Amino acid sequence: MNQDKILEYYFLALNDIRNGSSIQELEEAIRIYEATEEFEACSGILKAINEVKYTTIKNLKNGH
């Protein structure tokens, strides 16, 4: 897989989240990219989703 392309979609997804996109919207984008076999896009978006979920859970556990 092309790591540069994965990182590109990762940063785009993080930016989308910062701008108000929901996890559900990003998961829908993954389904679309899967259908067109753009697996680097799927990987980058999924990496961003997992990071945001982890950060949120970590903050909740730490009382933030």
Residue 3's pLDDT is: 97
Domain total in the chain: 1
Nearest to 50 by CA among 12, 2, 6, 10: 10
Below-70 pLDDT ranges, the chain: 57, 60, 64
Range of the domain at 21: 3-61
Residue 59's pLDDT is: 74
Residue 60's pLDDT is: 67
